[in-house]
Amino acid sequence: MTPAAPRRRRSPFAPQVLPDGHRHFSHRAVLARRAVLGGLLLSGVGGGVVLARPAGEDPETVAATGPAPVPPSAPPDPPQPVAPVQTQPTAVEGPSRTAADSPWVVVNKQHPLQPREYAPALAVVGGAEVAAVIAPDLRALLGDAERDGVVLGVASGYRSYERQRAVHENAVRRDGLDAAESLSARPGYSEHQTGLAVDFSGRTRPRCLLEDCFAQTPESDWLRAHAGRYGFLLRYPEGATAVTGYDAEPWHWRWVGTDLVQRLAGSGTATLEEFFGVSGGTGYA
Ligand SMILES: [Zn+2]
């Protein structure tokens, strides 16, 4: 970032970050975000973000929230088929992409964890629980960053199935199904449940915690330059919502190991879905 660069305005739907690292979206913020998502849909970007799934399809959620009210005079919506990103499976030698404890596991809205209640062996790094398998690399990353004068923290690591269920149910109750699901994964579908994903915080701009403006911090610059050497991949890059199912999250890094980071870098693809030829996207399977 140059000194002349304009400071980015806080997003109109910027959430309030709660002490537990989760985000609270005001009603106004949710409306703003809906408006933005609606614009994206109309412009053909991120197709199927929220309209792709017929309302009330998911019995669990309907049971929690009740069916969406439909005005009696409204014409029925035409069916909106889910259009997951389909690619050809790629033959890549290496660890499993479906085993929940594999460093290469792909978890997205098309591919839940198996079993859905999976829980990894845990370790505590930076005050947060993460999968034990990533602890050495994560500790090395944090220590080397600090030696470079960059203070990173672990805002969120492992999140259990039960914890994710509570987060998701609260979000649906508060914001409605569509708005909630553009932000919050269903339990069993969150990469955080593997323990392999880390949301980093930075010291220089605390207000950018879990915010788009984290991308303009020195901590983000350091991660982009060095995190790959510790096996971490920027999991939700800019412009890949239709592939990953999530908007850009510059703070969310996924440990996959250095071997896969290098292979991805040499492949010209940025996402696990594209590299492996695994389906993804914004609609749930
Ligand atoms: Zn995350």
- What's the full length of the chain, in residues? 285
How far does the centroid of ligand 1 lie from the alpha carbon of residue 71, in Å?
37
Distance 199 CA to ligand 1 centre (A): 5
Q: How far is the CA of 75 from the centre of ligand 1 (A)?
A: 39
Identity at 201, one-letter amino acid code: S
Distance (Å, rounded) from C-alpha 253 to C-alpha 157? 10
CB atoms within 10 A of CB 19: 5
Segment 30-48 shows an average pLDDT of: 36
Assess whether pLDDT exceeds 90 at residue 76: no
Report whether CATH 3.30.1380.10 matches the domain 16-66+79-276. yes
DSSP tally for the chain: helices H, then strands E: 9, 8
- The CA distance from 227 to 137, in Å, is 10
> How would you class 209 by CB atoms within 10 Å of its CB: exposed for 0-12, middle for 13-18, buried for 19 or more?
buried
Q: Which helix (H) or strand (E) holds 41?
A: helix 27-42
- Rounded distance from Cα 2 to ligand 1 centre (Å): 28
More confidently predicted of 29 and 222? 222
First to last CA, the chain: 40
Task: Residue 148: name the closest of 75, 90, 226 by CA.
Answer: 226
Q: For residue 115, is the peptide bond before it cis, meaning its omega torsion is within 30 degrees of 0?
A: yes
Question: What is the residue whose two structure tokens read 């004068």?
Answer: 149
Interval 232-274: pLDDT, tens: 999 999 999 999 998 899 999 999 999 999 999 999 999 999 9
| pLDDT 10s digits, 104-114 | 999 999 999 99
pLDDT tens, residue by residue, 194-237: 999 999 999 999 999 999 999 999 999 999 999 999 999 999 99
* Separation of CA 157 and ligand 1 centre (Å): 8
So what's the pLDDT on residue 285? Answer: 87
Residue 108 CA to ligand 1 center (angstroms) comes to 12
Does the pLDDT of residue 56 top 70, yes or no?
Answer: no
> Tens digits of per-residue pLDDT, 166-188?
999 998 999 998 877 777 889 99
**Which tokens hold the place of 214?**
């984290």
Task: Please give the pLDDT value at position 85.
Answer: 57
As a whole number of angstroms, the distance between CA 152 and CA 130 comes to 15
The token pair that represents 76 in the structure block? 């029925």
Amino acid identity, residue 93?
E
List CB-based neighbours of ion ligand 1 within 5 Å: 199, 252
Structure token digits, residue 218: 């020195």
Name the band, by pLDDT with cuts 50, 70 and 90, for residue 84.
Answer: low
